[in-house]
Structure formats: structure tokens, C-alpha cells
């Protein structure tokens, strides 16, 4: 393949390259960051990349909206991916709202939204006598004998 053909191939599919970059950025943010709000932002970036992918696949080059015209040989774009993406956007916004409300609740309970600090605080709670941790508790066992 010549250099000009390769460049044309890459530039001609810029939307797929954008999908790949957004997907990898979103995945990186989810995996590498400990802040729960940043993790939600990473999930939304990942979700947007999936939206762009479905819309890119659903578009037909030279296609028009599926509205009745007199030409029986007219080329139409399938509207189903776009409708599914609209539904997915609504679900994504609702999921983000629930996630942010959980982050607010976690912040009120632990005083932080950093994952490492929450795990340390949670481990401290498990070791407390009230939680039945390692400091001794007479919690009944399943067999009935302690």
C-alpha cells in the first residue's frame, strides 16, 4: 500500500479512530483513578464512544432518511441504531444520576470519595468490636455452637 493510500485509509475512517481513542481514555480513567467521581466520568466517556460507534455503523454513505419518496431505488439509512442510542442516552443519564447520588452518600458516610481511603476506613470498621471483627464477638454460628 502506498503512503497516500494508507493516509486516505486512516483519514477516511476518522470516526472509528475517535471511537478507539475515547474508549481507551474512558477505560484508563476507570482503571487508573481512585476518585469515584472521576470513575463515573470515565464510564461516561466510554459510553459516548459506544454511542459514536453505533451511530457510525448505522450511517449508510449516500443514504437518506427513511421517508417515502417516489424513487423505488432510493438508498435509506437504517433509523434503528439512532433510536437505540437515544434510549441508551436516557439510560446513561439515569445511571449517572444514581451513581452520583451514591457518591454523595459515600462521601457523607466516609468523608471522602477516594477509593483507597474508603477501603482503609472500611477495614477499620470491620475490626471494631461493634462490627464483630477480630477483637472478639460472640456471634452465633450456623451450627449453633460457638
A 10 A CB-CB count for 129 gives: 10
**What is the rounded CA–CA span in Å between residue 91 and residue 60?**
26
Give the confidence band of 1 by pLDDT, cuts at 50, 70, 90.
Answer: low
What φ, ψ does residue 76 adopt, rounded to 5°? -115, 150
**Sequential DSSP letters for 111-135:** S--BHHHHHHHHHHHHTSGGGT-TT
Q: Is residue 79 assigned to a domain?
A: yes
Residue 16 lies in a domain: yes
3-state DSSP call for residue 87?
helix
pLDDT at 56 over 90: no
Say if 128 falls within a structural domain. Answer: no
- pLDDT of 48 > 90? The answer is yes
Residue 109 belongs to a domain = yes
* 8 Å CB contact between 46 and 21: no
Lowest mean per-residue pLDDT among 29-33, 57-61, 65-69, 103-107:
65-69
Task: With a cut of 50, say whether residue 61 has pLDDT above it.
Answer: yes
Predicted confidence at residue 130, as pLDDT, reads 59
Query: Rounded mean pLDDT of the chain?
Result: 84
Number of domains in the chain: 1
For the segment 92-112, what is each residue's pLDDT rounded down to a tens digit?
Answer: 999 999 999 999 999 999 999
The CATH number that applies at residue 52 is 1.10.287.3510
Judged against a pLDDT cut of 70, whether residue 129 lies above it is answered with no
Is residue 132 domain-resident? no
Could you list the residue range(s) of the whole structural domain that residue 94 is in?
3-60+75-115
Place of cell 449517572: 96
Residue 132 has pLDDT above 60, yes or no: no
Residue 131 lies in a domain: no
Nearest to 88 by CA among 63, 36, 52: 52
Amino acid at each position: 500500500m502506498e503512503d497516500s493510500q494508507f493516509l486516505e485509509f486512516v483519514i477516511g475512517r476518522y470516526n472509528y479512530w475517535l471511537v478507539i481513542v475515547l474508549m481507551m481514555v474512558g477505560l484508563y480513567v476507570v482503571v487508573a483513578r481512585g476518585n469515584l467521581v472521576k470513575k463515573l466520568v470515565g464510564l461516561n466517556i466510554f459510553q459516548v464512544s459506544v454511542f459514536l460507534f453505533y451511530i457510525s455503523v448505522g450511517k449508510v454513505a449516500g443514504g437518506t432518511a427513511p421517508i417515502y419518496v417516489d424513487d423505488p431505488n432510493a438508498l435509506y439509512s437504517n433509523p434503528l441504531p439512532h433510536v437505540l442510542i437515544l434510549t441508551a442516552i436516557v439510560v446513561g443519564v439515569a445511571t449517572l444520576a444514581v451513581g452520583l447520588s451514591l457518591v454523595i452518600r459515600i462521601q457523607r458516610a466516609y468523608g471522602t470519595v477516594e477509593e483507597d481511603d474508603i477501603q482503609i476506613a472500611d477495614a477499620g470498621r470491620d475490626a471494631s468490636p461493634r462490627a464483630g471483627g477480630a477483637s472478639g464477638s460472640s456471634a452465633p454460628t450456623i451450627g449453633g455452637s460457638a
